[in-house]
Chain A
Amino acid sequence: MMAAFIFVVSVVIFLQFFVFYCRSLIAVSSKQPLSPEVQDVTGIQRAASGEDFNRVMQLLHLCPERPEDRKGIQAIGAYFRLLSFAGSTVAQLAPSMKSWTDSERGHCTYFAAIALERRISFSRDMLAQQMDA
């Protein structure tokens, strides 16, 4: 009985903390501007859309991986799936929830684009180091 209570409370709090944590990751990346080059590659000119998320993630996976940002990207990927699930179920009943999930999914795409920018500059640095050597 005690274990079942702890489980239910923990899952509810976990979801809450997970959403807040992902939003804090997104808030940090939203302050960084996208370079014109990455804007061209991703097609994100002004506001990012949730529809572009999978495409930006595919571009991200083409770049050499950086171990330090892998978990952050995975967390945002999970948050995006959670939002998509909420958008197709709960948000159908509440229009304000629908616009919120859409806007959050757009922020997830922007986060992925910033990660792409970091990976591109990381690859460039690596290449420059190899050329020097």
Chain B
Amino acid sequence: MVCALKGNSLRRYLCLNLYMGLSFLVSVGRYLVISRSGVSSMEYAYFYFYSDALLTIGLYFALLNLYSLVFDEMKVERYLRLGAVILLGGTAWFSYAVINQSSHRILSHFAFELSQNLYFVGLVLTYVLWGAILKLRETRTRLIQLVLSLGVYFSAFAADYALRNLYPNLQPVWQYVTPALGCILPAAWMYSFLFVTEEARLAPSRLATVPR
């Protein structure tokens, strides 16, 4: 947020910066819960997964912000918003349907399932956005880097959530892996806001060239 403010980009990337602000507040909240109840307490586990579901929804809207920037000239913002709300509702319904069949502790498992599914939906949407960037020949370097770093983050977290689901007994490993993955997005966005100017241009087709 500070780097975006320094580069006069706070308003342009408002949802991204709001997400970062929310992420900061959640981190402070988690620290307070840890210091009061301990890292292995139920209070922290509940706080962690509920706040994570909230953050994932925030990140989903940050992704929508990037969509509206890429499709800026097409004036399709209304349709994008409608599509995003329908997809969010659909994911929530699907998560509830999965949990309803297999679990007694519906609410806490719902938060976990919703986060996992939203990370995956976010990943697919980021992939579609990257496809649109290539197709529309979007050249704004900063925007390209923000989208790509979001893709790295979503895919890393989707894989992390899936592995946690497959191997729930490896909690001592996940407690280090997940915070390390959490550094990806702030670090990549800080780099983009500090070192890449809004005027910088890049041909995205160059990045996707693979040898045959």
Contact (A94, B195) CB under 8 Å given A4-B166, A21-B151, A27-B202: no
Any B CB within 8 A of the CB of A71: yes
CA distance A7 to B119 in the complex (A): 11
Q: Does the CB pair A14–B152 fall under 8 Å? A: yes
Measured CB to CB, the nearest residue on chain A to B160 is: A10
With both chains docked as a complex, state the minimum distance between the C-beta of B103 and any C-beta of chain A, in angstroms.
14
Interface of A is mostly: helix
CA distance A11 to B165 in the complex (A): 15
Q: Does the CB pair A24–B202 fall under 8 Å? A: yes
Measured CB to CB, the nearest residue on chain A to B148 is: A21
Among A43-51, A56-64, A95-103, the stretch that binds chain B is A95-103
Q: Does the CB pair B141–A24 fall under 8 Å? A: yes
With both chains docked as a complex, state the minimum distance between the C-beta of B133 and any C-beta of chain A, in angstroms.
10
With both chains docked as a complex, state the minimum distance between the C-beta of B176 and any C-beta of chain A, in angstroms.
17
CA distance A27 to B151 in the complex (A): 18
Contact of B155 (CB < 8 Å), options: A17, A27, A94, A97: A17
Any B CB within 8 A of the CB of A41: no
| Interface footprint category on A | 20 to 34
Interface of B is mostly: helix
Q: Does the CB pair B149–A21 fall under 8 Å? A: yes
CA distance A32 to B148 in the complex (A): 22
Measured CB to CB, the nearest residue on chain A to B3 is: A68
Report chain A residues within 8 Å CB of B166: 3-4, 7
What are 26 sample pairs from A and B whose C-beta atoms fall under 8 A apart?
Answer: A3-B161, A3-B163, A4-B166, A7-B163, A9-B123, A10-B123, A10-B159, A13-B127, A14-B159, A17-B151, A20-B130, A20-B207, A21-B149, A21-B151, A23-B206, A24-B141, A24-B145, A25-B145, A27-B141, A28-B145, A68-B191, A69-B195, A72-B187, A72-B195, A94-B211, A100-B210
Residues of B at under 8 Å CB distance from A?
Answer: 3, 116, 120, 123, 126-127, 130, 141, 144-145, 148-149, 151-152, 155-156, 158-159, 161-163, 165-166, 183, 187-188, 190-191, 194-196, 200, 202, 206-208, 210-212
